[in-house]
Amino acid sequence: MKKSYVIALVGAGGKTSMIRRIAQIASGTGRNAAVMTTTHMWLPKEHSGVGKTLQEAARLLKEEGILYYGQAGQGKAEGKMTFPGQEAYEYLCGQAEFVLVEADGSRCLPMKFPDWPREPVIPANTDAVFVMFGLSAVGQPLSAVCHRWQLGLGKRAGTDLIAQKSESVPVTPSLAADFLERGYLRPIRYRFPSAPVILFLNQADTAFRRKAGEQMQSFLHEKGWDCRLCSLRPMRIAVIYMASGFGSRFGTNKLLKPYWGKPLYRHGLDLFLTLKEEMAREDLQLEILVVSQYQEILEEGMLLKEGEEADWQGEKADWQGEDADWQREKAGWQGETADWQREMMSGKPLEKPPHFWTVENLSAEEGITSSLRLGVKSAGEEIDGYLFSVADQPWLSLETMRGLLRQHLDGLIPGQKDISCLTCNGRRGNPVLFDRTYRKQLLALTGDKGGSRIMKKFPERVMEYAAGERELEDIDYPEDLQ
């Protein structure tokens, strides 16, 4: 029986993305990979062996090069796969060249402090352990972004701080590095002394996050830990294009009125479709959601049903690290070059044709916040920001929007500078970009005022970007189209 190379992935903020990427690269270079879990993970959209016999699973592994295998979750674990059982696990370890094990749960948060010895559940035959950390946690309240944060604080202080007001403690680079060393690095090294332990600081895709990651890297390198910055997927911004207005001052549905050769609403939409293509080359992924009450507009895109979310695509691996010599040695590649590792290190977002989603607004009479809330819900939670734009600003320019996005990413500091808007002659206007941390506040908005209420609540957090004279102007009356 051949011996597979087993990598256990623990921590938070990128385990599933890392597994997917390694499996894709391994398969692309002629090596197969079996993916399993000792806890639970979401059912895969492809390469699934869940519900199949071991023989069928082995055949799928041989044919497709990638296999996700486990038992179908029940009850609270419905929609997920769980540990396949020891016999099945050992069998697939004898069939696959790589076995990738998601060995920890983090409830979709970017940071965790584990409850040893109950978790993480690392298989005894593990050859290497990858510890994941999501840099989006830095700057946020610890209680909001860290699973089992009470354990980390209590052990850090040498006393139980759970009863004290610890919820507002911010995640700093030093605190995060301390949690990682005490919660993962030292305990894993003790239990698996011969296995390489590598820490990946994921989501290093803004200047603030990269700086925080570099500080953490410095702390941990001084103590001898292998720590690398990476970004396993592009930054994701949901462009919520609000096209539900009644046009009461205009007298009719102005959005469908022709203006310079096409309906009014298409001017801004076409701009964002072009911007989407451009920014993909800069590792920024835009997903456009058009919220409208008008069937003529809804039919133009891919309509999301009630409760559905946009399907975000595209991954990358932007590694900041050294060649993985230990991979060649441990996997016994007999001097082969680790092509899959280099490919992963230089990977780019997967390309796809430009498109947009549409979301039907059945509550347009409520005002602009009905479109806002529908867009936020339909975008899902695995994103980094929400950009809101109205559909009657035909003079908005590509150059201005490009500049707004770049300035936002360069200046983004969660809790300090995390809202961006256009301005001209002292007047602020749309589009407006909010960091993902405002999701709950955006969903709580009602009426016809929109996100301006949040901006007024946190004026010191707003970054302004200068727009041209006409760019903030919208179409209110028929004569405006002249």
Q: Are residues 114 and 224 in the same domain?
A: yes
List of the chain residues with pLDDT < 50 = 1, 158-164, 315-354
Residue whose pair of structure tokens reads 């479109």 in the numeric block: 371
Is 277 part of any domain?
yes
Is 364 part of any domain?
yes
Is 163 part of any domain?
yes
Q: What are 358's strand-pairing partners?
A: 290, 303
Q: Are residues 187 and 115 in the same domain?
A: yes
Sign of CA dihedral 120, 329, 34, 347: positive
Is 197 part of any domain?
yes
At 310 the three-state DSSP class reads: coil
* pTM value surpassing 0.75: yes
pLDDT at 168 (0 to 100)? 75
Is 205 part of any domain?
yes
Question: For residue 16, what are the domain limits?
Answer: 5-31+97-232+315-345
Q: Per the structure, how many domains does the chain have?
A: 2
**CATH (domain of 444):** 3.90.550.10
Q: What is the DSSP letter of 365?
A: G
Tell me the pLDDT tens digit for each residue of 181-237: 999 999 999 999 999 999 999 999 888 999 999 999 999 999 999 999 999 988 999
Specify the pairing of strand 284-292 against strand 258-259: unpaired
Q: What is the DSSP letter of 337?
A: -
Of 324, 345, 366, the last residue of a domain is 345
Is 60 part of any domain?
no
**CATH (domain of 212):** 3.40.50
pLDDT at 330 (0 to 100)? 38
Burial group, residue 49, by CB count within 10 angstroms (0-12, 13-18, 19+): buried
Q: Are residues 173 and 224 in the same domain?
A: yes
Is 58 part of any domain?
no
Q: Are residues 150 and 275 in the same domain?
A: no
A 10 A CB-CB count for 110 gives 24
pLDDT at 313 (0 to 100)? 62
Is 441 part of any domain?
yes
Is the separation of the CB atoms in 478 and 251 below 8 Å? yes
pLDDT at 72 (0 to 100)? 94
Measured between alpha carbons, how far is 67 from 47 in angstroms, rounded to an integer?
5
Of 345, 362, 394, the last residue of a domain is 345
Q: Are residues 288 and 413 in the same domain?
A: yes
Tell me the pLDDT tens digit for each residue of 251-277: 678 899 999 899 999 999 999 999 999
pLDDT at 355 (0 to 100)? 83
Q: Are residues 284 and 384 in the same domain?
A: yes
Which amino acid type is present at position 309? E
Q: Are residues 339 and 409 in the same domain?
A: no
Q: Are residues 219 and 271 in the same domain?
A: no
**SS3 labels along 376-427:** HHHHCCCCCEEEEEECCCCCCCHHHHHHHHHHHHHHCECCCECEEEEEECCE
Q: Are residues 297 and 267 in the same domain?
A: yes
Q: Are residues 198 and 298 in the same domain?
A: no
Taking the CA atoms of the chain, what radius of gyration do you get in angstroms? 24
Q: Are residues 177 and 246 in the same domain?
A: no
